[in-house]
Copies of this chain bind each other. A is one copy, B any other.
Amino acid sequence: MDLLLLSNSRAPGQEFLAHALDEIDDFLGANRRLTFVPYASSDHDGYTAVMAAALAARGITVVGVHTVADPRQEAARAEAVFVGGGNSFRLLKALYATGLLETIGDRVRAGELRYLGASAGSNMAAPTLRTTNDMPIVSPPSFETFGFVPFQINPHYLDPAPASTHMGETREERILEFLEENDVPVLGLREGAWLRVDGAVARLGGVNGARLFGRGSEPAELVPGEDASHLLSTTPRYDLTG
């Protein structure tokens, strides 16, 4: 299985995907054709154009999966897929409706398809949607996602702001709430960070690092370049309180 899971696709003051272009280039290897899944956005054509423009300089051709007659057929012959960010609930609903959850899922698990995700697309690589930051604007038939990794991912992980007077929960508080109900590690990828998985090896890349949360343990810091392969042998346990 080959995965590249980005926290974010746009970094402050930089062009779309610029912060991760070298890594994407390396991840794709000789293959220069990328199938793009834009369903997390409401503007499929616009989003695909932005993606195509960002990758053109590297000689990478982007095909919007929504532009072909049969998205499942496109996914069945693709060598690499990029699932873009936006709203995770909208994305997951579309993955079920199109059948891509099954086609992409089966082929990535079989090692036939490289999987790139950003933000909502990275959320999909976990077993469930439960650690998304997004608003549930539509209702997917289930919260179950691809499950390429056996732990949860929280993209755009944001450290608590000590000066805030807002009484809403911090990201850490939200994740601890998740851990009240589930015994599953949560990898909070800060903006600029990514996780790359190559078979049994997982490694943190990019900048800013990640914060790893576990039920009943203190949060731990992961620094850029750190090996995170031990997370791939996690046994997740959901719905502890029934």
Tell me the count of chain A residues lying within 8 A, CB to CB, of chain B.
38
Most buried by B among A10, A168, A169, A175: A168
Residue of B whose beta carbon sits closest to that of A156: B168
Check A72 for interface membership: any CB of B closer than 8 A. no
In the bound complex, how far is the Cα of B168 from the Cα of A8, in angstroms? Answer: 9
| A to B CB contacts below 8 Å, 28 in the list | A8-B167, A10-B167, A11-B167, A12-B165, A12-B167, A42-B177, A90-B177, A128-B139, A129-B136, A130-B137, A130-B138, A131-B135, A132-B135, A132-B136, A133-B168, A135-B174, A135-B177, A135-B178, A137-B174, A137-B177, A137-B182, A138-B182, A138-B239, A139-B143, A156-B167, A156-B168, A158-B166, A167-B191
Given contacts A129-B136, A138-B181, 12 further A-B contacts (CB under 8 A): A42-B177, A42-B180, A42-B181, A90-B177, A128-B139, A130-B135, A132-B135, A133-B135, A135-B175, A139-B142, A158-B168, A166-B191
